[in-house]
Amino acid sequence: MKNEYIELPVATADGHFVARYSEKGLAGLSFPAARASARAVKPAEIPSQIRAWHRATESALKKILAGNQPKEFPPIELTGTDFQKSVWRQLQKISAGKTKSYGEIAQAIGKPKAVRAVGGACGANPIPVLVPCHRVLAANQKIGGFSGGMHWKRSLLTREGVRVKD
């Protein structure tokens, strides 16, 4: 499976997300409007390790969509620049129902002037929802942007009990 991805649907009450797996773990997650680009994979062709990771992905995603913090996650393969990876690691530290500002994330990674770059890294996050970029807000608790669309960001934050300003 070297340099190949297996894409599998994740059925939720909010529609079908698409999870993309590499040989190292979950490498991408797309919102329901997205379509899988890989060839259809028959269940018998899916390695047992990926089936286990997919069960963990489904469980974690459904818990987050219900406003809860999952206890377990699949292995996550984050592909990006060192800067992006440092931002994404900080995002993973934000618990359900909590938020941080782009400035707080920039400060936490030791780049206090890189606020806009933090926003760019959030927008490039390949695994939204599980790597919770929706929990990052602009200054003064304003909602800011979101790669999945503002309706998703509002919905995810509301489910977690977070009140935001438009």
The residues carrying an active-site annotation are 133
Handedness of CA 161, 59, 82, 32 (dihedral sign): negative
Residue 124 neighbours by CB distance under 10 Å: 14
Output the CA torsion 12→55→2→90 (10° steps).
80
Tokens representing 4 are 């190949």
Containing 21, the helix (H) or strand (E) segment is strand 15-21
CB of 26 closer than 8 Å to CB of 77: yes
Single out the residue of 51, 49, 7, 2 nearest to residue 28, CA to CA.
7
Residue 48 neighbours by CB distance under 10 Å: 7
